[in-house]
Amino acid sequence: VFSALDKDVDAEDLFQLLLKLCGTNYPVSIAFIVLSWPLMNLSTAVYHAFSSLCYFTPLLGAMITDSWLGKFKTIIYLSIVYVIGHVVKSVGAIPDVGDSTLHIVLSMLGLVLIAFGTGGIQPCVAAFGGDQFDEENVKESTKFFSIFYMSINAGSVLPTIVTPILRGDVKCFGGDCYALAFGVPAALMIVALVVFISGSGLYKKCPPEGNVLVRVCKCIGFAIRNRWRNSKKSPKKSHWLDWAEEKYPKRLIQEIKMVFRVLVLYIPLPMFWALFDQQGSRWTLQCHLVGVCFCVVKMLNALLILVFILIFDMGIHPLIGLCQIKLTPLRKMAAGMILAALAFCAATVVEINVIKTVVEPSPAKESLLQVYNLMDADVTVQFPGHTVFSDPLTPNEDPSGYTSLPLTGESQLYTVTVIHNGAEYQCELAFTERTAYSLFRHTAQPGDTVCKLVKDHITKSETGAAYLRFINTHTENIHITVGTDEFYAAANYGISQNISVPRGEYNGVVCKTNSNQYHIDLGLLDFSAFYTVILSKQRSNNHEEKMEDIQANNIHITWQIPQYVFLTAGEVMFSITGLEFSYSQVPASMKSVLQAGWLMTVAFGNVNVLIVAEGLGWTSSSFLVAVSIIFSIMAYFYTYVDPDQLDKTFREGTDDEKVESSDSKKNQTVSLTDMPKQTKM
pLDDT in tens, 359-397: 888 999 999 999 998 888 888 888 888 877 878 888 888
* CATH code for the domain of 315: 1.20.1250
Predicted pLDDT of residue 598: 84
- The domain boundary residue, chosen from 438, 459, 480: 459
Q: Please provide the average confidence, as pLDDT, over all residues in the chain.
A: 77
Rounded-to-integer distance, Cα 351 and Cα 357, Å: 10
329/380 same-domain check: no
* CATH code for the domain of 493: 2.60.40
Asked if the structure places residue 622 within a domain, the reply is yes
Q: What would the mean pLDDT of 488-507 be, rounded to a whole number?
A: 91
Predicted pLDDT of residue 230: 80
pLDDT in tens, 212-271: 778 888 899 999 988 888 867 677 788 888 888 888 888 888 888 888 889 999 998 888
Rounded-to-integer distance, Cα 399 and Cα 549, Å: 7
- Angle at 459 (CA atoms; ends 397, 463), nearest 5 degrees: 110
146/20 same-domain check: yes
Maximum pairwise Cα distance, the chain:
114
Asked if the structure places residue 206 within a domain, the reply is yes
Q: What would the mean pLDDT of 593-611 be, rounded to a whole number?
A: 74
Asked if the structure places residue 547 within a domain, the reply is yes
353/364 same-domain check: no
75/199 same-domain check: yes
pLDDT in tens, 51-104: 677 777 777 777 787 777 888 888 889 889 988 988 898 888 888 777 778 887
Global pTM value: 0.66
Contacts for 136 with CB less than 8 Å, ≥ 6 apart: none
3/15 same-domain check: yes
Q: What would the mean pLDDT of 461-473 be, rounded to a whole number?
A: 87
In this prediction, residue 169 has a pLDDT band, given cuts at 50, 70 and 90, of confident
First to last CA, the chain: 41
In this prediction, residue 41 has a pLDDT band, given cuts at 50, 70 and 90, of very low
* CATH code for the domain of 102: 1.20.1250.20
572/543 same-domain check: no
Asked if the structure places residue 665 within a domain, the reply is no
Q: What would the mean pLDDT of 350-357 be, rounded to a whole number?
A: 78
User: What DSSP string runs through 21-34?
Assistant: GGGSSSBTHHHHHH
pLDDT at 648 over 70: no
Predicted pLDDT of residue 13: 43
In this prediction, residue 39 has a pLDDT band, given cuts at 50, 70 and 90, of very low
The number of angstroms, rounded, from the C-alpha of 173 to the middle of its chain's C-alpha atoms is 33
Structural domain boundaries, residue 468: 463-552
Q: Which whole-number Å values give the CA distances from 538 to 207, 376, 439, 456, 660, in the listed order?
A: 89, 10, 21, 26, 104
DSSP 413: E
519/396 same-domain check: no
- The domain boundary residue, chosen from 531, 552, 573: 552
Q: What would the mean pLDDT of 413-436 be, rounded to a whole number?
A: 90
407/494 same-domain check: no
Predicted pLDDT of residue 497: 92
Predicted pLDDT of residue 477: 94
- Specify the range with the lowest mean pLDDT, choosing from 12-26, 384-398, 466-480, 587-601: 12-26
- The domain boundary residue, chosen from 165, 180, 210: 210
Contacts for 201 with CB less than 8 Å, ≥ 6 apart: none
469/510 same-domain check: yes
Asked if the structure places residue 661 within a domain, the reply is no
In this prediction, residue 488 has a pLDDT band, given cuts at 50, 70 and 90, of very high
Asked if the structure places residue 496 within a domain, the reply is yes
In this prediction, residue 658 has a pLDDT band, given cuts at 50, 70 and 90, of very low
203 CB-side CA count, 13 A = 25
Q: Number of folded domains in the chain?
A: 4
519/567 same-domain check: no
* pLDDT > 70: percent of the chain: 77
13/133 same-domain check: yes
Detail the DSSP E strand segments found in 444-484.
450-455, 466-472, 478-482
Asked if the structure places residue 445 within a domain, the reply is yes
Asked if the structure places residue 258 within a domain, the reply is no
318/396 same-domain check: no
Among 596, 657, 678, smallest CA distance to 216 is for 596
Rounded-to-integer distance, Cα 48 and Cα 290, Å: 14
* pLDDT > 90: percent of the chain: 15
